[in-house]
Amino acid sequence: MSAAPLRLALVGNPNCGKTALFNLLTGSRQKVANYAGVTVERKEGRLRTPGGRDCVLLDLPGAYSLQAASLDEAVTRDVCRGFYPGEPAPDLLVCVVDATNLRLHLRFALEVRELGKPMVVAVNLMDVARRRGIEVDLDAIARELGVPVVASVAVRRDGGRALLAQLDAMADHLHPPTRRLPEGTDMHAATRALLQAAVRMPSRTARIDDALDRWLLHPWVGLLTLAAVMFLVFQAVYAWATPLMDAIEAATAWLGAQAGEALPEGPLRSLVVDGIIAGLGGVIVFLPQILVLFAFILALEESGYLPRAAFLLDRMMFRAGLSGRSFIPLLSSFACAVPGIMATRSIQDPRDRIATILVAPLMTCSARLPVYALLIGAFVPQQAVMGVLNLQGLVLFGLYALAVVSALLVATVMKRWRRDTGEHALLLELPSYRWPHPRDLLIGLWERAAIFLRRVGGIILALTILLWFLLTFPAPPPGFTGNAIDYSFAGRLGHALAVVFAPVGFDWRICIALIPGLAAREVAVSSLATVYALSVADEAAAAQALSPLIANDWSLATALSLLAWYVYAPMCISTLATIKRETNSWRKMGGATLYLFALAYAASLLTYQLAVALGAG
C-alpha cells in the first residue's frame, strides 16, 4: 500500500445526488470549511476501500459546466484542473451523473473527460431509473467515453460497492481517458450519440413529478400549499424551539447559581457567572431554532420542494432586488436572524445572497417582542378599534408591517445603487421529487450546528465577555450610593451617548439599557429594570414592575421613538457575528451595522420630533 492517500474529487451537476453519495462513502468522517478566500463550502471526507486503500474525498460544488458562471463553478473548475491555490490536484475525478437525467449530465461528463485527467463515472440513482423503466447500458457508456463506468445507489447501504471496487481495481495504474473528442466536435451532438448508443427511456418525465407539479405549481393551489408549508415552518421555529430554549436558559441560570456558590465573591466569580457561563448560554440558546429551521430547510431542499417555492415567489422577490430563494431565509429571520442568515447558503447567486443577508436583520425577530410588549403595554391604551380590533394588537401588527415594508425598500434601494447592474439569471433547475434520506438530514444538521458553534459561537462569546467587562468595571467606590452600572464604563458610555440620543428623546437610562441589549435585544428589558434599581427575579417580573414606572417617567414621544428604534435596531452582536461569518467580510458587517443604525436613528428622530410637534412630548 502506498503511504499517501489517494485524492478523489466528486464532480457533477447540481441535483445528481453527489452529496448523498459523499455522505454514503464517508459517513461522519467529514470536515466542512470554506475554500481559501471565498465563502464557497469545502467538504472533505475520508474513506477506506475494501482493498485497504485510504482515500481523501473532496465533494466539489455542483456545476452545470466548466465554463464557470458562478463562484461555485469557478472553484469546481479550478480544483479539477489542479489550479486552485492551496488545493492539491486530485488524483482521480469521480464524475457523478443521474441515471434519470443523462441528457444533461452526460454532456458535463464529456466536458470533464476533455480535461484529460484520470476519471471514473458513477451513474447514480440507478434504482429510480430502473423503476421508471429507463435502461442504461453501462458498458456502452464506458466504451464510448473511454473511462470506467459504475452504477451507484446513494440511498442504499451497499450502493457504493461497485465504485469502491472500481477504485481498488484502478488505483495503482491511473491513466487519462483513452478517448477524446475530435477537435471542434459539438458537445451536444456527442451527447446525443452517446444517449442513442446506451440509453433507452420510455418517457421523458416521471409521472409523479408531472402530477405533483400540476398542483404544487398551480397559481393558487400552489401558493396556498406554500403558505401552509411556510406557516408550519414558522410555527415550528417559533413554538417548538421555545421549550428547548427555555430549558437552556434555565440550565444556564442554574449553572451560574452553582458556580456563584462555589466561588468566592469577587471579580473572578463575576467573570465566570456573568461573563463565561452567561455568554456560553447565550450562544447555545440559538441552537434549537437553528436545528429546527434547518431540519425543515434540508428536508424541503432534498425533497425538491424548495426550488418550487422559489419558482412561485421569484417574480415578487425579483421586483425588490432579491430572488425567489431569498424567501425562506427572510421568513426564518422573523424567528431569529442568526439561523435566517445561515440559511442564505441555499442562494447560489452571490449578489442575491448578500442582498438577502443585509435585509434579514430588518425582519422582526422574536427577541424584539418583549421590548414591544413592554412599551405597548405601558403606553398604548387597551381599547377596541372598529368593534373587533384591539389597538394594542394593531400597533404590534403595524410594527411588523413597517419592518417588512422597510426591508423591501432597502432591497430596492440596494438594487438601484449597486454597481453590478448586469442581468443575473434565475435558470433554476426543478429536480425530480425525492424522499429525503435521514442520513443526509442528520449529517446536514450536524454540519450546521458545528459551523454555528465553532465559527459564530466564538465571536459571540468573546463579545459577551467584553460587554461583561464594560458593565462590571470599574467597580463603584465603597461609599457610592447609586447603581453600580452607573459607575461602570457602560454607564459612562450611556451618559455620553445621551447627548447623541437627546434629539430622538432617549434619556441616559435608556441609553445604558441599550448597551447590554447588544448581547441580545430582549435583555434590554431587564437592563432597564436594573437601571431603575428594581430588584426583580426574571424578565416577566421586570416588565410587570417597569410598566407603571416608565408610563409615568417617559413621554409618549419617547416611547414611540424607542419602538421605532427597535424596528431597525442593529444592536445584536450575534446577528452581526453571523453576517461577518457568512460574508467573510468585516466591511459588509460594518456596512450592515451602519445602515441599520442610520435607519434606526432616522426613524426614531422622525417619530420623536413628529410626536413632540403633535403635542405628545
Q: Which residues bind other proteins (CB under 8 A)?
A: 64-65, 67, 69, 100-104, 107, 188, 201, 204-205, 209, 213-214, 217-220, 222-223, 307, 310-312, 314-316, 318, 423, 425-431
Strand-strand pairing, 30-34 and 6-12: unpaired
Tell me the C-alpha distance between 468 and 463, whole Å: 9
At its nearest, how many Å lie between other proteins and the CB of residue 406? Answer: 22
What span, in angstroms and rounded, lies between the C-alpha atoms of 286 and 455?
Answer: 13
Q: How far is the CB of 65 from other proteins (least distance, A)?
A: 4
Closer residue to other proteins in complex, CB, 180/214: 214
Residue whose cell numbers read 442568526: 338
Beta-bridged to residue 419, according to DSSP, are: none
CB nearer to other proteins: pick between 102 and 357 = 102
**Least CB distance to other proteins at residue 347 (A):** 14
Cα 452 to Cα 148, 290, 326, 345, 378, distances in angstroms:
40, 9, 20, 13, 37
CB of 588 to other proteins, least distance (A): 25
Q: Which cell numbers hold the place of 121? A: 463515472
Choose between 204 and 207: whose C-beta lies nearer to other proteins: 204
DSSP 3: S
CB nearer to other proteins: give 112 or 463. 112
Q: For other proteins, give the closer residue by CB, 313 or 515.
A: 313
> Which ranges constitute the DSSP H helices of 114-206?
126-131, 138-145, 161-170, 187-198
Q: Are 344 and 306 in contact (CB under 8 A)?
A: no
CB of 126 to other proteins, least distance (A): 15
In whole angstroms, give the CA distance from residue 282 to residue 256. 13
100/472 with CB nearer other proteins = 100
**Shortest CB 234 distance to other proteins, Å:** 20
Shortest Å distance, C-beta 272 to other proteins: 54
CA 371 to chain centre: 25
Least gap, CB of 203 to other proteins (angstroms)? 9
Coil, strand or helix: which one is 112? helix
The residues with which 29 forms a beta bridge, in sequence order, are none
**Nearest-approach distance from CB 37 to other proteins, in angstroms:** 23
Measured CA to CA, the distance from residue 135 to residue 289 in angstroms comes to 44
Report the residue number, 15 or 30, with the smaller CB distance to other proteins. 15
Residue 67's closest CA among 57, 78, 59?
A: 78
**Amino acid, res. 456:** V
Three-state DSSP class for residue 11: strand
Which element (helix H / strand E) includes 587?
A: helix 586-613
Q: How far is the CB of 311 from other proteins (least distance, A)?
A: 5
HSE-CB for 224 with a 13 A CA cutoff: 5
| Of 65 and 609, CB closest to other proteins | 65
Q: Which is nearer to other proteins, 103 or 143 (CB)?
A: 103
Q: How far is the CB of 436 from other proteins (least distance, A)?
A: 19
Q: Which secondary-structure segment (H or E) carries 540?
A: helix 539-553
Q: Quick one: three-class SS letters along 16-78? A: CCHHHHHHHHHCCCEEEEECCCCCCEEEEEEEECCCCCEEEEEECCCCCCCCCCCHHHHHHHH
Q: Please, which residue, 201 or 284, has the CB nearer to other proteins?
A: 201
For other proteins, the closer CB: 201 or 236: 201
CA-to-CA separations, 105 to 6, 17, 110, 217, in angstroms, rounded: 25, 12, 9, 25
